[in-house]
Amino acid sequence: MTMTGYSLAYQFWIRFKKNSLSVAGGAIVLALFLIAVFAPLLSPYDPNDIDRKHILEPPGIKHPFGTDDLGRDILSRMIWGARISLAVGFVAVGIATLIGILFGAIAGYYGGWTERIIMRFIDIMLTIPTFFLILAVIAFIEPSIWNIMIVIGLTSWMGVARLVRAEFLSLKEREYVLAARALGASDFRIIFRHILINSMAPVLVSAVLGIAGAVLLESALSFLGLGVQPPTPTWGNILTLGKDNLEIAWWLSVFPGLAILITVLGYNLLGEGIRDSIDPRLWETGRK
């Protein structure tokens, strides 16, 4: 990394840590990541162990978050559910980001009819409600974790594509791009080596915010019984049990609901903090 790179990274960190909400969001995301990674060590019980002697037991010393209708420990299921939710978020957003970068880069760099065709296709996709499109696709395939991740990724790339296109339109006429073209660099090299690397900051922000949306979407699908299927624990299917036992087992709704709320809030705060810290207008203001 060059001295300029160190300087920019240092300035980014200075700006980021000044925003207490962004730091809190980063701490939440880091905590969730550690919980997901170390789930086997943190989980007090096997998430699928059935204990019929402790069915729908309220929170207590033995089961801090209570048990469900099969006597399974809710805390253990939520810890393992964090793995599912975060895996869906990262993989789905990864797929959406790759597709969006590809379409957006081609549309923004080549322009003309290529851009018109791609952008009209994106406009058509945007007219279809994403959630109902996912429901329609899930109706024809088996609702497994991999299918959920792929479907969410394939239906969530349009925003990234429009963002990348806008960045390419503003960068493709810069001096360094013209110089690379004059030196005989191929379109592939110019797109991925010169332009794309300078347009990744807003894509990173979009990806972080997109993870929150993917986690929320997976939870909604699992809540409806169309997401990851039991006995695999997810926050959404724990909420489904809470709906069926709301009057006698409030903990089945409260704890997974809070987990989803905190996760989405953490990623949104982190994403907005990153966006504010890399905003060029703020950099210029800081230099004055």
Over the stretch 73-113, which tens digit does the pLDDT of each residue have? 999 999 999 988 888 889 999 999 999 999 999 999 998 89
Helix or strand holding residue 87 (H, E): helix 74-110
> What dotted CATH number matches 3-287?
1.10.3720.10
Mean residue pLDDT across the chain = 86
- Max mean pLDDT range (49-53, 65-69, 192-196): 65-69
Over the stretch 143-172, which tens digit does the pLDDT of each residue have? 778 888 888 898 889 999 999 999 898 888
Q: Exposure pattern of 89-118 as b/e (b: 16+ CB <10 Å)?
A: bbbbbbbbbebbbbbbbbbbbeeeeebeeb
Tell whether the model's pLDDT for residue 285 goes beyond 50.
Answer: no
Portion of the chain with pLDDT greater than 90, in percent: 38
Tell me what the mean pLDDT of segment 33-50 comes to.
Answer: 91
The predicted model scores a pTM of 0.85
What are the backbone dihedrals phi and psi of residue 67, each rounded to the nearest 5 degrees, phi first?
-130, 165
Over the stretch 9-27, which tens digit does the pLDDT of each residue have? 777 778 888 888 889 999 9
Residues with Cβ within 8 Å of residue 47, at least 6 apart in sequence: 72, 73, 76, 77, 79, 80, 81, 233
Give the tokens for residue 288: 């004055």
